[in-house]
A = this chain, B = another copy of it.
Amino acid sequence: MVEIRKPIQVSEAINRVLQHSRAMPTITVSLDESYNSILAEPIIAQHDVPPFNRSPYDGFAIRSIDSIGASGNNRKQFNVIDHIGAGQLTSRKLGEKEAVRIMTGAPIPESADAIVMLEQTVEHDGGFTIRKPFAKGENVSRQGEDAQQGEQLIEAGTIVHPGIVALLATFGYAKVDVAKKPFVGILSTGTELIDVDEPLQPGKIRNSNGPMIIAQLKRMGIASKSYGMRMDDLDVCCQIVEKALEECDVLITTGGVSVGDFDYLPAIYDRLKAKVLFNKVAMRPGSVTTVATVRGKLLFGLSGNPSACFSGFELFVRPALLTMMGCKKPFLPYAKAILTEDFPKPNPFMRFVRSIYRFEDGKAYITPAGFNKSNAVTSIARGNAFMVLPGGTRGYKKGTEVDVLLLGVEEGVDKWQLQ
């Protein structure tokens, strides 16, 4: 008897996974270590930015009142009484027609209220003249114009990219509270698998899913441990899975989730008393993708087929890991693009076609990345996006606008925008 599984929609599958994505604890790391983490605290302006009225140019700080009436025919004369660079303060107070020579980034003396750029002056020994009046505040980077003390600038749950690092450094966050990264176990199952450094044997293929998932995790800055790739005996397997569940926050298996005679995962789930969230998703490739929880930990049973395994990771594992870290934008960015060739296959289920997304002449185009069966591996290596075709549709014609999910993008989006 073949087990009949009821497929659920992709959106519903994602919902179930995210509902079971348990929050990771907060840890404190140095700013250096924070890159690619998820902020566990908002970034609050610890002081005004700029912290003082600042000169944005090399020039002279003046009292604007002294420039009134200046013109080409009536140049106004200033005497320079001090000279400061960035990081320096003047002790002098400007009197009438006095100026301080000031460099970019230096604090403007309290007694001054405008900056004359070097280029706007004619200099002479001990002073300069100008040919136009300056308004109060002209060429002044005002204290607090970029950010005001106490303002929340970035919310918790944001990924730490280089711009965030700059902001953290500005406010003296030498230590940052971020979500601890989940530690992920990987178990590749399949009696046909041999290791990458083994010579090919009849009937065998090399394990590509394991290294691929390690790289998918590395892309997220997440460390993993491989639990090998044998699966000969149910007892041994259960022991390995038990051990992995003790050591890891999340376990990913590949292969063995179908209804074949050597597909052990369903039996393992039974033994572990796992709660199976779903074992059939209305998607291609990867319809047998199974997700379960054991003692609150997520077990991802990805298909052994490379394309299906890749898709299962990007669609389910990635948003789950990001959600565990409190990320507010766990989903792949969504776009639309014009299909560049006919795609004649019918789509009984929602289909994720590994594709090449590109922008040309002001328009976005999408081209399937070659051979697209679930066991294809070459198409995973090409392309940078999924073309997504809704279930229940027939073929698609060249020129049709279709849905796209972008891969390898640092910052995701906050909503799953497809069915």
Contacts and interface: CB of A to CB of B under 8 A. Distances in A.
Contacts of A413: 358-359
A165 B145 CA distance: 47
A262 to B, nearest CB: 4
Contact of A197 (B2, B172, B310, B333): B172
Copies of this chain present in the complex amount to 2
Interface in A266-325: 304, 306, 310
B104 A258 contact: yes
A52 B203 contact: yes
Contacts of A382: 153-154, 163
Interface stretch (A19-27, A69-77, A204-212): A204-212
Interface residues of A, number: 114
B381 A106 contact: no
Given A35-B215, A49-B377, A408-B410, A260 B371 contact: no
A146 B206 contact: no
B31 A196 contact: yes
A85 B51 contact: no
B85 A262 contact: yes
Nearest to A90: B203
A166 B409 contact: no
A96 interface: no
B212 A166 contact: yes
Contact of A86 (B145, B196, B262, B362): B262
A162 B216 contact: yes
A7 interface: no
A401 interface: yes
Contacts of A153: 378, 381-382
B2 A118 contact: yes
A235 interface: no
A76 B358 CA distance: 51
Interface stretch (A10-18, A129-137, A186-194): A186-194
Contacts of A167: 208, 377-378, 380-381
Given A35-B214, A43-B381, A147-B377, 6 more contacts: A50-B375, A85-B261, A86-B192, A166-B380, A169-B206, A171-B206
- Nearest first, the 8 closest Cβ-Cβ pairs linking A and B are A408-B410, A87-B192, A86-B192, A163-B380, A166-B212, A162-B215, A167-B381, A174-B197
9 contacts: A52-B202, A86-B304, A162-B213, A163-B383, A165-B208, A166-B380, A169-B206, A169-B211, A336-B362
